[in-house]
Amino acid sequence: SIDAERLLGRIRELGQIGRGSDGRLVRLAATDADKAGRDALVSWLRTAGLEVAVDRIGNIFGIWRTADNADEPPVLLGSHIDTVINAGIYDGCYGVLSGLEVIETLKAAGHAPARPIAVAAFTNEEGVRYAPDMMGSLVYAGGLPVEEALATVGSDETTLGAELERIGYKGSKEPGFLKPHAYVELHIEQGPVLEREGVPIGAVENLQGISWQRVTIKGEANHAGTTPMTMRRDAGHAAARVVTFLRDRARNANTPTVATVGCMSFEPNAINVIPSQATFTVDLRDPDEQRLQVEEAALAAYLKELAADEEVTISVERLARFEPVTFDRKIVELVEDAARRRGLASKRMTSGAGHDAQMIARIAPSAMIFVPSIGGISHNPREHTPDASAVAGANILLEVVSRLAAE
Amino acid sequence: SIDAERLLGRIRELGQIGRGSDGRLVRLAATDADKAGRDALVSWLRTAGLEVAVDRIGNIFGIWRTADNADEPPVLLGSHIDTVINAGIYDGCYGVLSGLEVIETLKAAGHAPARPIAVAAFTNEEGVRYAPDMMGSLVYAGGLPVEEALATVGSDETTLGAELERIGYKGSKEPGFLKPHAYVELHIEQGPVLEREGVPIGAVENLQGISWQRVTIKGEANHAGTTPMTMRRDAGHAAARVVTFLRDRARNANTPTVATVGCMSFEPNAINVIPSQATFTVDLRDPDEQRLQVEEAALAAYLKELAADEEVTISVERLARFEPVTFDRKIVELVEDAARRRGLASKRMTSGAGHDAQMIARIAPSAMIFVPSIGGISHNPREHTPDASAVAGANILLEVVSRLAAE
Ligand SMILES: NC(=O)NCCC(=O)O
Ligand SMILES: NC(=O)NCCC(=O)O
């Protein structure tokens, strides 16, 4: 079994890095806070005696190989250590630190695996600063050219490549340099299912499709006091109608579709000026590709109607689009089997969140292990997974990795 | 008659001060751009041989008095030179520069008025940076203690008093130091009525009530991908419902009520996080005080319902509240009379915008003169009044002032 104290201690320690004087944890990709988090991780990888490598998109790898297995494709574990704004401490970090923990445990036990085992922390999984999300793993899997990814301009107008250079994490390895034999990602569920059903382990068999768009509505600025209601071309009002349209549609459908408007800004954003422009993001998800396309089409049709009805012009920019992914059946069964052997119930489930596993699945058999999130809360400082659950998940990872590394 | 070229030239010159490299005119109260605009105005006042005074809230006065009339209460003209974000060149500036133009014209003609004539540029009329709007004239009229006004914290977290000090316009005169005999404000209509009806001069007999509030809705941040639609407490969605409620209600009522949401912001404002907080402003106006109260009550009742329905908490902060104002009948008749004598049609009308005249009406007989705004467009760079209309308005002001200064 893994060293529970060491794992939990590191999760808490990393959770303090990037915490502001206001108490909020914000460790956006390629910021100074991310650098501090990366530095801590690298020092733990070194202490564990692992070989550290960084690729051109800033993905960090800790590799354990021996003279006997060095030529075999490794078993890769991983996740990410970047966070959202005002984040919890588990999302991503739990998976990376558990991967390290599993390797240290096997090493200390004198284990001699048939293949190398490596742990990865992928760059910019959250996608808050740079879109798309899961960028480091997407590049690693060959889904986005590294030069294009490095040129991405962020929500703060910075460029990812320049920021990685600045914090010293633009590495030299070519993304994809380690071709994994298999990839396993341990993560908190971030949703309510496991806790509600009292099941400690999720064997994640698929992951829903993700569609991100940025919508810009242009109307006409005018005086709030003198412009009759019938003569307005109010971009803010048009945007509000999209927010309620998306919510009502997703809520009333008897499907798992989710729709979220997370970002919103008005121009000129003055109390007595009718908004000339509103810009907002749309996050649409569905486990079924067909249905996701239907939802995208419904939004497009609504925007067209709205433009005519409100006399505004509307443009849409695509920020990310990933189809649903089905994970490797054999690894999912290994997860179920490991849970059984440890006397824990497990449940096959769908991931609502995007994960690096979804990208690495393009180049290697992949699957995920979930543990419960209290109240289903994530992307929130109250995100919490009880210690016992976190430790149980890491031990399941240990079992699965031992099997995969013996193949 | 006034010197048309001099007036129009100054309007254009002032309209270049505070214009950014992006071409946008932004001269918010007590900023560096405002200082530059004030400096230009003061130099014109000095050139015209006027006595310049600045009071503790930064209102600027150019006073023309003679040995013969120095003890009489002056006729006061005025408006403001602060602007909104991405403004036109007429709003406020037209009235201040026309006041100066009228004084220069009378002086040059060897006129010897029975009372002093002064022109004022009141601080922070727009209210974009510091609420409430019409702040300088409100303080001048005794409606807000000067210390309280100077302590106002702005939308950019600055304090008005410190900013006035910084730009060198925290004067020493006590607000109210000149007790006017009468106050006349010339302004662009900023609405569509005069142009639509083909009437060149508005004799403004009243001004609608203004209610400004800031609403903060707190919900719960959670993951956009994993949180089922039925388990969300989405502050952004709740805010969107308020926007559509206000618009639908004002639009469907058969009344002149106007309702505007000009400012909006989400927290944490991240694409894959359900908004934990939404903050927005509500600008409600009606010429009828009773009806304005009914609209405020309807909003309050809706927010209460909404809080329960969306499981969010809602707080409301009042930013400004002014009752409708009726102007001085005698001055309104002087405006009509002056138009008649100049062979121009005029129309009695209500002001949709707030104006300094609304505040000064508390301490002196006051009224306003409107000229047409093309397309009814204001608070927009396309704000426009044809040269001939602007000159006609200034000549009406000249007539009215001559009469009032002779009383
Ligand atoms: N796991 C996670 O929060 N990923 C961020 C990408 C997403 O929005 O799903
Ligand atoms: N005239 C004018 O635009 N005043 C600003 C205050 C208001 O919003 O009415």
Q: Residues of A with CB below 8 A from B133's CB?
A: 272
Is there a contact between B272 and A264 if contact means CB atoms under 8 Å apart?
A: no
Q: Which ligand does the CA of A222 lie closest to?
A: 2
Distance from CA of B2 to the nearest CA of A (A): 29
Distance from CA of A382 to the nearest CA of B (A): 9
Q: Residues of A with CB below 8 A from B284's CB?
A: none
pLDDT of A182-210, one tens digit each? Answer: 999 999 999 999 999 999 999 999 999 99
Distance from CA of B386 to the nearest CA of A (A): 18
Ligand 2 atom 3: residue of nearest CA: B353
Q: Is A353 in the pocket of ligand 1 (CB under 6 A)?
A: yes
Taking alpha carbons only, the member of A267, A288, A289, A293 closest to residue A278 is: A267
**Confidence at residue A304, expressed as pLDDT on a 0 to 100 scale:** 98
Q: What percent of chain A has pLDDT over 70?
A: 100
Mean pLDDT of A115-131: 97
Taking alpha carbons only, the member of B141, B140, B139, B121 closest to residue B30 is: B121
**Confidence at residue B150, expressed as pLDDT on a 0 to 100 scale:** 98
* Report field, pTM of the whole predicted structure over 0.95: no
Question: Per the structure block, which two tokens stand in for B155?
Answer: 């939308």
CA B99/CA B44 separation, integer angstroms: 12
* Strand pairing category for A325-326 and A75-80: unpaired
DSSP A287: S
The full 3-state SS of chain B, as one line of letters, equals CCCHHHHHHHHHHHCCCCECCCCCECCCCCCHHHHHHHHHHHHHHHHCCCEEEEECCCCEEEEECCCCCCCCCCEEEEEECCCCCCCCCCCCHHHHHHHHHHHHHHHHCCCCCCCCEEEEEECCCCCCCCCCCCHHHHHHCCCCCHHHHHCCECCCCCEHHHHHHHHCCCCCECCCCCCCCEEEEEEECCCCHHHHHCCCEEEEEEECEEEEEEEEEECCCEECCCCCHHHCCCHHHHHHHHHHHHHHHHHHCCCCCEEECCCEEEECCCCCEECCEEEEEEEEEECCHHHHHHHHHHHHHHHHHHHHHHCCEEEEEEEEEECCEECCHHHHHHHHHHHHHCCCCEEEEEECCCCHHHHHCCCCCEEEEEECCHHHCCCCCCCCCCHHHHHHHHHHHHHHHHHHHHC
Q: Among A222, A223, A271, A274, which residue has the most ligand 2 atoms within 8 Å of its CB, making it the best to mutate?
A: A223
Distance from CA of A352 to the nearest CA of B (A): 4
pLDDT band at A108 (very low <50, low <70, confident <90, very high): very high
Return phi, psi of residue B157, to 5°.
70, 5
Torsion B137-B142-B147-B152 (CA) sign: negative
Q: Is A82 in the pocket of ligand 1 (CB under 6 A)?
A: no
pLDDT of A238-250, one tens digit each? Answer: 999 999 999 999 9
Q: Is B226 in the pocket of ligand 1 (CB under 6 A)?
A: no
Across A251-255, B52-56, B291-295, least confident range: A251-255
Q: Is A210 exposed, middle or buried (0-12, 13-18, 19+ CB in 10 A)?
A: buried
pLDDT band at B159 (very low <50, low <70, confident <90, very high): very high
CA A389/CA A369 separation, integer angstroms: 12
| Amino acid, res. B219 | G
In the numeric block, the tokens 């409708």 are attached to: B324
pLDDT band at B168 (very low <50, low <70, confident <90, very high): very high
Q: Is B29 in the pocket of ligand 2 (CB under 6 A)?
A: no
Residue A230, number of CB atoms within 10 A of its CB:
7
Are B40 and B13 in contact by the 8 Å Cβ rule? The answer is yes
pLDDT band at A362 (very low <50, low <70, confident <90, very high): very high
CA A303/CA B331 separation, integer angstroms: 51
Are A175 and A363 in contact by the 8 Å Cβ rule? The answer is no
In the numeric block, the tokens 């006051």 are attached to: B366
Are A136 and A356 in contact by the 8 Å Cβ rule? The answer is yes
What percent helix, strand, coil does chain A show, rounded to 5? 35, 25, 40
CA B303/CA B293 separation, integer angstroms: 15
Is there a contact between B126 and A272 if contact means CB atoms under 8 Å apart?
A: yes
Q: What percent of chain A has pLDDT over 90?
A: 100
Sorted by sequence, the CB contacts under 8 Å of residue A393 that are 6+ apart come out as A94, A98, A186, A200, A201, A369, A370, A371
Q: Among A355, A359, A368, which residue has the most ligand 1 atoms within 8 Å of its CB, making it the best to mutate?
A: A355
Ligand 1 atom 7: residue of nearest CA: A354
Q: Residues of B with CB below 8 A from A378's CB?
A: 222-223, 226
* Strand pairing category for B222-223 and B273-274: antiparallel
Question: Per the structure block, which two tokens stand in for B91?
Answer: 């709003």
CA A85/CA A322 separation, integer angstroms: 23
Q: Which ligand does the CA of A258 lie closest to?
A: 1
- Strand ranges inside A11-122, DSSP E: 51-54, 60-64, 75-80, 117-122
Residue B268, number of CB atoms within 10 A of its CB:
21
pLDDT of B74-99, one tens digit each? Answer: 999 999 999 999 999 999 999 999 99
**Confidence at residue A170, expressed as pLDDT on a 0 to 100 scale:** 98
Taking alpha carbons only, the member of B76, B45, B34 closest to residue B357 is: B76
Question: Per the structure block, which two tokens stand in for B393?
Answer: 């308005």
Residue B300, number of CB atoms within 10 A of its CB:
12
Q: Tell how many helices (H) and how many strands (E) occur in chain A.
A: 12, 16
B91 is in an annotated binding site: yes
Half-sphere exposure (Cβ direction) of A196: Cα atoms closer than 13 Å: 10
Is there a contact between A237 and B244 if contact means CB atoms under 8 Å apart?
A: yes
pLDDT band at A40 (very low <50, low <70, confident <90, very high): very high
Q: Is A234 in the pocket of ligand 1 (CB under 6 A)?
A: no
Q: Among B188, B355, B359, B360, which residue has the most ligand 2 atoms within 8 Å of its CB, making it the best to mutate?
A: B355
pLDDT of B95-116, one tens digit each? Answer: 999 999 999 999 999 999 999 9
Mean pLDDT of A257-281: 97
Q: Is A271 in the pocket of ligand 2 (CB under 6 A)?
A: no
Q: Residues of A with CB below 8 A from B126's CB?
A: 272
Q: Is A355 in the pocket of ligand 1 (CB under 6 A)?
A: yes
pLDDT of A133-187, one tens digit each? Answer: 999 999 999 999 999 999 999 999 999 999 999 999 999 999 999 999 999 999 9
Ligand 1: distance of its center to the CA of B156 in Å?
A: 32
Which helix (DSSP H) or strand (DSSP E) does residue A311 occupy?
Answer: none
Average model confidence (pLDDT) for chain A?
97
Q: Is B177 exposed, middle or buried (0-12, 13-18, 19+ CB in 10 A)?
A: middle
**Confidence at residue B362, expressed as pLDDT on a 0 to 100 scale:** 97
